[in-house]
Amino acid sequence: MTLDLFEGLEESALPAMQPLAAGAVLLRGFALAQGAQLLAGVEAVLAQAPLRHLITPGGFRMSVAMSNCGALGWVSDLSGYRYDASDPDSGRPWPPMPAAFRELAAAAARAGGFEGFAPDACLINRYEAGTRLSLHQDRDEGNYDWPIVSVSLGLPAVFLFGGPKRSDKAQRVPLTHGDVVVWGGASRLHYHGVLPVKEGEHPLTGACRINLTFRKAR
Ligand code: SIN
Ligand code: FE2
């Protein structure tokens, strides 16, 4: 059989869902229509809980700047990684997760095969040119029953998606504004990271990439 099926179709009409591994999919452009609304939500959250560079348990300052919204926020300091109901910088609860964030995360999870996802934590990551995130697992959550939903906004980046061991070969997945990656089930604990972001200018975010990572932390 040939690919006659796709002949004459624009590239944009090709399937937008790309499997990465068992339980993991890339949803190309899934958040494109909501990009500006999501970024307005990010701005509102950051006005209450500004971005900061967390310190790792090993004493290093993370190059990715972070904040959170939702009932729980992911934080790191010399005592370890954890989820906290309040912002350690202000002592106040994290700003509530905007409805548009929750709805998008649930819709993306559903498209990835995970019905009923109700995230209680949204980590906001800001990458400036040269910023990277080294290979890691997301394993500070209370259980691994729910997927991770990761939304890319602004400048492009190369996402590394590996396997259950740090030494497993990682796929290089180019992500652009509006792309969403969902991983759960058999790939929930797969190693992942982001290569250094290249310099650039995006009409909605300027010189940076913003990533929203939704989790069910408890
Ligand atoms: C993360 O692993 O927390 C972020 C991934 C990304 O920025 O794409
Ligand atoms: Fe992660």
Q: Is the predicted pLDDT of residue 209 greater than 50, yes or no?
A: yes
pLDDT for residue 118 is more than 80: yes
Q: Is the pLDDT of residue 10 over 90?
A: no
DSSP category for residue 131: -
Residue 40 and residue 131: Cα distance in Å, rounded?
A: 23
The CATH homologous superfamily of the domain defined by 16-215: Alpha-ketoglutarate-dependent dioxygenase AlkB-like (2.60.120.590)
Q: Cα(212) to centroid of ligand 1, in Å?
A: 8
Residues with CB under 5 A from ligand 2 (ion): 138
pTM score: 0.94
pLDDT range class, residue 8, cuts 50, 70, 90: low
In tens, the pLDDT along 52-107 reads 999 999 999 999 999 999 999 999 999 999 999 999 999 999 999 999 999 999 99
CA 156 to chain CA centroid, Å, is 13
Does position 126 have pLDDT exceeding 80, yes or no?
A: yes
Pick the atom of ligand 1 nearest to 159's CA: 8
Sequence spans of domains, the chain? 16-215
pLDDT digits (tens, 9 = 90+) for 174-190: 999 999 999 999 999 99
pLDDT tier, 16 (very low <50, low <70, confident <90, very high otherwise): confident
Percent of the chain at pLDDT > 70 equals: 93
Q: Which band of pLDDT confidence, cut at 50, 70 and 90, is reported for residue 2? A: very low
pLDDT for 6 equals 53
The pair of structure tokens assigned to 94 is 């994290």
Distance 215 CA to ligand 2 centre (A): 10
For ligand 2, the distance from its centroid to the CA atom of residue 16, given in whole angstroms, is: 23
Residue 10 CA to residue 179 CA, distance in Å, equals 18
Whole-number mean pLDDT of the chain?
95
Instruction: Output the pLDDT for position 14.
Output: 52
Render pLDDT for 18-34 as a digit per residue (tens, 0 to 9).
Answer: 999 999 999 999 999 99
Pocket of ligand 1 from Cβ distances under 6 Å: 123, 125, 133, 150, 152, 159, 192, 194, 211, 213
